[in-house]
Chain A
């Protein structure tokens, strides 16, 4: 009977190209500039379309709410730089959350461009000041570049995390193993009494 069912599954999988191994919903959030971006998907890769994203602060107060687009993405301006809980509600009782801890909000240094003091006749000081301006600008440029360069990396990390979350073959085998173990336990309890009876009769 189970052989038959396996065949039925195989045939069905061939017939329906939309059949995929996916179910659990996950959300991943990261910071890009002054935006928080989120991406939600079902394990297996299907993006959550029109899922409701709710953002709560540390005290559980709702800060804002929005809807994911068809790529499962939703982004919003950082409401405040503190711990945040981002919850995706994909409907039908599917829900997941991501917590952005406080230390992910690294404060960007405020741009205090020192006004160059003019020493028209002293060329050495002029050079020094120029260098100082360049340093702060350089810092800003590096930061922006880093932000940009980190985007693919964060996405990859996201993919890696979600790929780990889909059930693996060993999980499946382990589950079946547990069920067989329970069957064994049930059988043992059932036949233990019978065995005792037989032993008593023989001795």
Chain B
């Protein structure tokens, strides 16, 4: 899921940095400072979630939780994910420092998209809310897999094969993330619904 050092070519690295810079700037601008602790805690959750791995086929994939982050934080998912990925890169050597920009964009952008797609349905009827939150977790990971495939387009020789492999390998994670997101939303609706507004 994290692109390692030395995989990406210079144009891709710079594109990633630019996109992440833009996203983080919007995120910080839109960030409500009253909710900064929430951003921090979700950033920590993201930081740890990547340690839980699902081994499928030739590669190992892991939980991402970007669906939950997107749903609760919106654009603020960008700074939260940037911080968590920077720390993962330093402490766990997950993903290269030069690939940080691309990695952040790959994980945060689907989160923001899912925020706009599914957020309106979260406070609806219970069944609709559950379906929407499952879809949010599911499609957020699907988005990461698609973006990961696209960022490797210049480095992998057989693009379609690699992309379909990436998406296939992430199907279990998509389902698990969908369930986790649905759990989180149903719990928050009962305990602190103001977090979902």
Contacts and interface: CB of A to CB of B under 8 A. Distances in A.
Given A9-B52, A92-B1, A179 B184 contact: no
B160 to A, nearest CB: 14
A5 B45 contact: yes
Interface stretch (B17-25, B34-42, B114-122, B127-135): B34-42
Interface string B7-40: 1100000000000000000000000010011011
A167 B51 contact: yes
A172 B51 CA distance: 9
A183 B60 contact: no
A20 B4 contact: no
A140 interface: no
Contacts of B45: 2, 5
B169 interface: yes
Contacts of B58: 48-51, 90-91
B83 interface: yes
Contacts of B47: 172, 175-176, 179
A21 B51 contact: yes
A96 interface: yes
Interface in B121-154: 148, 151-152
A171 B92 contact: yes
Interface residues of B, number: 56
A95 to B, nearest CB: 4
Contact of A22 (B4, B33, B53, B165): B53
Contact of B59 (A19, A90, A190): A90
Contact of A93 (B4, B36, B50, B55): B4
B159 interface: no
Interface in B78-117: 83-84, 87-88, 91-94, 99
Secondary structure of the B contact surface, majority rule: helix
Interface string A85-99: 001001111111100
Interface string A170-193: 011011101110110011001000
B52 A175 contact: no
Nearest to A181: B40
Contacts of A42: 59-60
Nearest to B40: A183
Interface in A13-44: 13, 16, 18-25, 42, 44
Given A178-B87, A179-B40, A24 B53 contact: no
A27 to B, nearest CB: 12
Contacts of A2: 41, 45
Contacts of A190: 33, 36
A182 B40 contact: yes
A57 to B, nearest CB: 17
A97 B88 CA distance: 19
A25 B55 CA distance: 13
Interface of A: 1-2, 4-5, 8-9, 12-13, 16, 18-25, 42, 44, 46, 48-51, 87, 90-97, 165, 167, 171-172, 174-176, 178-180, 182-183, 186-187, 190
Interface of B: 1-8, 33, 36-37, 39-41, 43-45, 47-48, 50-56, 58-60, 62, 83-84, 87-88, 91-94, 99, 148, 151-152, 162, 165-166, 169, 176, 179-180, 183-184, 187-188, 191-192, 195
